[in-house]
Amino acid sequence: MVIAALVLGVLALIQCGDGRRWEEAPPSRPHSVTITEFGAVGDGKTLNTLPFQNAVFYARSFADKGGAQLYVPKGRWLTGSFNLTSHLTLFLEEEAVIIGTKDPSQWPVVEPLPSYGEGIDLPGPRHRSLINGYNLSDVVITGNNGVVDGQGSIWWDWLQSHELNHSRPHIVEFMNSQQIVVSNLTFLNSPAWSIHPVYCSNVKVHNVTIKTSLDAPLTDGIVPDSCSNVCIEDSSISVSHDAISLKSGWDKYGISFAKPTSDVHISRVDLRASSGAALAFGSEMSGGISDIHVDHIRIDSSSKGISFRTTPGRGGYIAEVVVTDVIMDSVRVAIEFIGNWSSHPDDHFDPSVLPLIDQITLQNMEGTNISVAGVLSGIEGDPFTAICLSSLNFSIAESAASSAWSCSNVSGYSESVFPEPCSELHDPSTNSSICFSFPSYSALAVA
């Protein structure tokens, strides 16, 4: 018991922006191995899938001895998909680049996630991600600004030419894991999503850079998915689709799995999404999304700024969201609520299962060169409620052709908003107190 207490005592405690504490693994492990000890060659040509797999297998033997660090030195390390293990630090030195091979046979095919029922691109299975963690605890992926390059262009071509056999892989995916840290690295050219924690808790992503080609199809940055206790800070993301997207499952699969995304803090991030949203909620949100706090973000040259998406048949809820202190520039639509984002995994959905969108507060925002301040379109018979806007100032671009605001099937409260928002956002039944006094949605039924 004394030994266990000492081990817990060496855990470094770090803080997220709202003062909560996050456990992070020790900055150094008592054991260390280098990828070259397992025959890896960093020439950018030699395939190193087996050395990575063998190195992780060896590191696993130190799990009950304080864990191990797997060190990746300067070089270009070509590899296929490999799994991590608990109590492991994967450390990429400066000028170390892990490169995902373009050979699809090195990305094994696995079953779709249970909360989705299908792959994100195609029905059926999906390719496993480049770096994976399943049922793990205490894992760190970090470095001295090393790089992980997914070489996604071949996957983008297959998607656009309809030559994919299975849904695309991500760069990093953790599933059913806890106490995860990803930091001090650059992630390039993901085949699909760059960092995807799913069914995880106590996840921190900080000081990362994520980039894909701005014309790459459906590439997302960080996607917390049915996760709790997540912190994303001090990072820069530039992708084609959604820079940060919160999700929790798809239609009946997400409703049945019933694992929400909750207790998420996002702070001090620079976001760019050329054809998607800088910050997106959904559209796959059938397990529920609540208790989300976002502050001090910059959004530049994006199609959408902040987007809430759902559709009949989703079920679930998006509630208790506060987004504050936002600076936008050159954004087509600053704020979007859309109730007919109608993609479904299959035809077996019940359109009468309606989502709840309630108690969303957006405040302290400045925008320049904005084409449309807001498009808010709820669901007929299922309006989005308690949308609260406060201290927003958007400078509308001279070239803007449409009106600044468009609203239907929504209600809410607004104050100190320019341009003047829709009349629906002056609902007398909604007052300022509801914008900052949120009930708990953790036990809310999603059906």
DSSP one-letter string for 430-444: --HHHHH-PPP-TT-
The pLDDT mean for the chain works out to: 91
Task: Please report, for the chain, the start and end positions of each structural domain, with discontinuous segments joined by +.
Answer: 2-436
Q: How buried is 325 (Cβ within 10 angstroms: 0-12 exposed, 13-18 middle, 19+ buried)?
A: middle
Q: What is the pLDDT of residues 329-350, one digit of tens each?
A: 999 999 999 999 988 999 889 9
CA distance 108 to 79: 13
Q: How buried is 440 (Cβ within 10 angstroms: 0-12 exposed, 13-18 middle, 19+ buried)?
A: exposed
The torsion of the CA quartet 193, 253, 307, 403, rounded to 10 degrees, works out to 130
Q: What is the pLDDT of residues 311-331, one digit of tens each?
A: 999 999 999 999 999 999 999
Give me the pLDDT at residue 443, please: 39
Give me the pLDDT at residue 435, please: 66
The structure tokens listed for 421 are: 């928002």
Amino acid letter, residue 144 = N
Give me the pLDDT at residue 27, please: 53
1 contact partners, CB below 8 Å, separation of at least 6: none
Q: What is the pLDDT of residues 223-232, one digit of tens each?
A: 999 999 999 9
Query: Domain spanning 2-436 has what CATH number?
Result: 2.160.20.10
The structure tokens listed for 139 are: 């894992």
Contact 261, 246 (CB under 8 A): yes
Residue given tokens 């297998």 in the structure block: 57
For residue 219, give Cα distances in angstroms to 61, 148, 308.
36, 15, 18
CA distance 414 to 384: 15
CB atoms within 10 A of CB 347: 5
Q: What is the pLDDT of residues 370-421, one digit of tens each?
A: 999 999 999 999 999 999 999 999 999 887 767 899 999 999 999 999 999 9
The residue ranges of the chain whose pLDDT is under 50 are: 1-14, 18-26, 438-447
**pTM of the complete model:** 0.93
